[in-house]
Amino acid sequence: MRLQRQFTGQKITLDTSNLIASGGEGRIFPVVEDSSLVAKIYHKPTEEDADKLTVMFNNPPQTLTVMPGVTAIAWPVDLLCTPDNKRKIVGFLMPSVTRSLPIHTFYTPKTRRERKPLFNYLYLHRTARNLVASVTDLHASGYVIGDVNESNILVSDTALVTLVDTDSFQVRDPDTKTVYRCPVGKAEFTPPELQGQTFRDRDRTPEHDRFGLAVLIFQLLMEGTHPFSGVYKGSGDPPAIETRIKAGHFVYGNNRVPYKPMPLAPSFEILHPKLQELFLRCFQDGHTNPKARPDARTWLLTLIEAEENLLTCDKYSQHRYGRHLNTCPWCERTSKLGGRDPFPSREAVQQGLHLQPLKPKRKRRSTVRLASPLRSAQSLIPTNAIQPQTTVRQAVTSSRSRYRPRTRTISNGLSPQIQSLMLNLIQGAILGGIWGVACSSAIMAIMFGFFRGTGGILGGMFVGTIWGAFFGVSISMFLPPPRGLNRWKAFIVGSFCGAMIAAAISGILFGALTGEMVVGQTLLWGAFLGLIWGSIWCVFKPPLSLPTTGGVRGLTGAVSGSVWGAVLGSITGAVLAIAAVLWSEWQVQMSLTLSPKLVSQMLVMAMVAAGLGALGGILSGATFGSIGGVPPLPLSMKMVGTKGAIVGGIWGNFLGAIAGAAVGAIAAVIFPDFLSSTSGEAMPMFLGAMVVSAGVGAVWGTISGIVWGALGQF
Which of 78, 47, 77, 48 minimizes the C-alpha distance to 64? 77
| 433 vs 281: which has the higher pLDDT | 281
pLDDT at 312 > cutoff 70: yes
The pLDDT of residue 359: 59
**Which pLDDT belongs to residue 558?**
74
Q: What pLDDT shows up at residue 126?
A: 94
Render the burial of 413-439: b for 16+ CB within 10 Å, e for the rest: eeeeeeeeeeebeeebbebbbebbbbb
Structure confidence at residue 410 as a pLDDT band (50, 70, 90): very low
Residue 388: the pLDDT is 30
Q: Which of 28-37, 39-48, 668-677 has the lowest mean pLDDT?
A: 668-677
Q: What is the pLDDT of residue 142?
A: 92
Q: What is the pLDDT of residue 305?
A: 93
Q: How far is the first Cα of the chain from the last one, in angstroms, to the nearest whole number?
A: 59
Task: Tell me the CATH number of domain 1-98, given options 3.30.200.20, 1.10.150.20, 1.20.1560.10, 3.40.50.300.
Answer: 3.30.200.20
Among 302-311, 358-367, 511-520, 621-630, the minimum mean pLDDT is found in 358-367
The dihedrals phi and psi of 349, each to the nearest 5 degrees, come to: -70, -45
Q: Decide which of 516 and 246 is more confident.
A: 246
Angle at 487 between CA 485 and CA 493, to 5 degrees: 65
Q: Which pLDDT score, from 0 to 100, does residue 42 have?
A: 94
The residue annotated as part of the active site, out of 147, 165, 167, 209, is 147
Cis peptide preceding 482, ω within 30 of 0: yes
Confidence of residue 376 (pLDDT cuts 50, 70, 90): very low
Better pLDDT: 573 or 141:
141
> What's the whole-number average pLDDT of the chain?
77
Mean pLDDT, residues 310-335 taken together: 93
Q: Which of 5-19, 185-199, 641-655 has the highest mean pLDDT?
A: 185-199
- Least confident stretch, 147-151, 437-441, 542-546: 542-546
- pLDDT: is 482 or 341 the higher one? 341
**pLDDT at 87 (0 to 100):** 81
State the average pLDDT over residues 495-508: 80
Within 8 A by CB and 6+ apart from 415, the residues are none
Distance between CA atoms of 613 and 571, rounded to whole angstroms? 8
Position 686, amino acid: F
15 is catalytic: no
Q: How does pLDDT run across 53-97, given as a tens digit for each residue?
A: 989 988 888 777 666 667 888 899 899 998 887 788 999 998 787
In the predicted structure, residue 180 carries a pLDDT above the cut 60: yes
Domain with CATH 3.30.200.20 in the chain: 1-98
Greater confidence (479 vs 687) lies with 687
- What percent of the chain stands above pLDDT 70? 70
Categorize the per-residue pLDDT at 680 as very low, low, confident or very high, splitting at 50, 70 and 90. Answer: very low
The three state secondary structure string of 209-267 is HHHHHHHHHHHHHCCCCCCCCCEECCCCCCCCHHHHHHHCCCCCCCCCCCEECCCCCCC
Compare 18 and 584 and report the one with higher pLDDT: 18
Predicted pLDDT of residue 361: 52
- More confident site: 376 or 427: 427
What CATH number is given for 101-357 in this structure?
Answer: 1.10.510.10
Rounded average pLDDT over 458-472:
78
User: Given this model, what pLDDT does residue 475 score?
Assistant: 66
* CA 34/CA 454 separation, integer angstroms: 56
| Average pLDDT of the residues in 676-704 | 61
Say if residue 18's pLDDT is above 80: yes
pLDDT at 649 over 70: yes
Q: How far apart are CA 677 and CA 523, in angstroms?
A: 32
Note the pLDDT of residue 122.
95
Tally of CB atoms within 10 A around 458: 18
Instruction: Give the residue with greater pLDDT, 151 vs 643.
Output: 151
> What is the share, in percent, of the chain residues with pLDDT greater than 90?
33
Give the pLDDT confidence of 117-173 residue by residue, as tens digits.
999 999 999 999 999 999 999 999 999 999 999 999 999 998 999 998 999 999 999
Neighbours of 681 (CB within 10 A): 11
Q: How high is the pLDDT of residue 246?
A: 94
Contact 379, 353 (CB under 8 A): no
Q: What is the model's pLDDT at position 579?
A: 76
Does the structure show a pLDDT above 80 at 537? Answer: no
pLDDT in tens, 364-375: 444 433 333 333
Q: What is the location of CATH 1.10.510.10 in the chain?
A: 101-357
